[in-house]
A and B are shown apart, each in its own frame.
Chain A
């Protein structure tokens, strides 16, 4: 019996060791490429042209970043990215919370119809071209608001917030109503502060989506002054692809483009990495919220 238990322990130890080794390999596969991009972006153009595996900045230099920031385009793009993310998130969360609060009251007249209408939008959509034609006829093409207005509402987020509001004890609402507050006041002064965790989760996911979104720009924006970082990066990538394919330009120009591309990648991703620890705290609870459907 003791022998058997000892053998089991040994097997278990072997299992653990192999498991941990494999997981370490897995994390290396994720981290090394990312690390390579970061250190390459801090290497000089000459070092990049030489190639070779870069694990530590070769000829440490900021020339790539200087090249990126000298181009005033990136400041404009950064500003657009920040503006569309901040304004987009605030308006999206508020709009979804407002609709979700209204629908969280079971006695609201027409509620069944409203919810049915919303659920249908979760499964059916007109697709790319009809949506484009709508945006065009609304006059939203080449305006900043195309980033904000069509993204105001997601019925999925409405349902999450609706369920959250429903779990708030009735007594809070009742006491506010005794004091003579209407539904708007109850919503703004009681439910919004109480629902910060749920709203923060939605805000973070929506924020990452806004920051990373490039299809909206590709579809609806041709005015370069409205390009966010992602679109700018896309243009740089396409340009460098064409150069390397057709061998246009000298090696020097090609490596400059490569350096600029690497530095732009880092600048574009930095806000996500900075927000990541906060993000991580919320997304697991977010997945749980999402799993509790109506």
Chain B
């Protein structure tokens, strides 16, 4: 719509502006245009008002991180305390425990979970039987659409002492006594990681498959004539073509290292495994919503998001160096 609209019976088009005009006249023109476009403006402004209320007011509300907010205060009447809340964070053992858990789970997810969708996507791409390919895709995307509450309920059933996992392990003679691994803190990181992979690995292939479908098929034909094996074709053709999308995903994963899945944590955490299950998000939830320490919880959340931004920028710099100075973002 960059062109001038030919017919403007309702007068929505711009007043033709050529060259520089004095400021007063520009403002006047702005209001004239604005009135002529009232129909379009009346569509946009509700959205702007919405964003002001639901996005910008909470951003302003972050100021309580520097205040001592209690239930009787309003946002503005609460006294300023500067960086006091942030100083408490530094000596808060429970906070640091949650950082260790968050990083531990994130690194496991990165180490194990990052390559699985890539391998899976390549495997699906290599299937030449159309029906089978579709079948695998249909099945593999399904878990993504289950909620974490549903999956959590399933996991609790499977892991219970009379559940699927114990039956299988007992049957194979790997254990002699049934035990509920959800109550064992030392196993929690793996449960969180593997259940996440089970749920999202298939869905993670979609973008990779989309990129692979754009690869020129003549590359493969030429490679075949040269006698390159299938594995070699994957290594020399498929993977190099996915370099950009893989780096992009890697950057996003690294910048999300301090993020965690609150739904997953809330449903899988219990009083027995809390020491290993509490992540930053759930700690913010507990401090703020359960204990009512709004200022402190906000300070934790704000501090963590600032570090996440730093991570994002650093990850982008590092990968752009690896990608011959082409920035992915």
Contacts and interface: CB of A to CB of B under 8 A. Distances in A.
Contacts of B123: 19, 22-23
B196 to A, nearest CB: 14
A173 B37 CA distance: 15
B46 A99 contact: yes
Interface residues of A, number: 109
B107 interface: no
Given A27-B136, A109-B30, A280-B141, A245 B298 contact: no
Contact of A106 (B2, B75, B266): B2
Main secondary structure of the interface of B (DSSP, over half): helix
B50 A212 contact: no
A31 B182 CA distance: 22
Main secondary structure of the interface of A (DSSP, over half): helix
B180 interface: yes
Given A53-B167, A129-B64, A237-B267, A108 B152 contact: no
B297 A129 contact: yes
Contact of A102 (B40, B124, B157, B171): B40
Contacts of A170: 1, 3, 5
B191 interface: no
A134 interface: yes
A102 B41 contact: yes
Contact of B206 (A50, A215, A284): A284
Contacts, number: 293
B44 A8 contact: no
Contacts of B12: 105, 107, 183
Contacts of A166: 1
Nearest to A237: B153
Interface string A146-160: 000010110100100
Nearest to B294: A129
A109 B34 contact: yes
A49 B162 contact: yes
B120 to A, nearest CB: 7
Contacts of A234: 149, 152, 266-267
B280 to A, nearest CB: 11
Nearest to B209: A284
B143 A30 contact: yes
Interface stretch (A58-66, A82-90, A120-128): A120-128
B255 to A, nearest CB: 11
B62 interface: yes
A65 B294 CA distance: 42
B66 interface: no
Contact of B156 (A126, A181, A215, A237): A237
Interface string A277-292: 0011001100110010
A93 interface: no
20 contacts: A23-B136, A27-B140, A30-B139, A53-B164, A102-B40, A107-B1, A110-B34, A117-B48, A120-B55, A126-B61, A127-B284, A128-B284, A133-B58, A183-B40, A234-B152, A244-B161, A262-B153, A273-B142, A279-B145, A280-B138
Closest 6 CB pairs of A and B: A126-B58, A130-B61, A99-B47, A212-B147, A102-B43, A51-B162
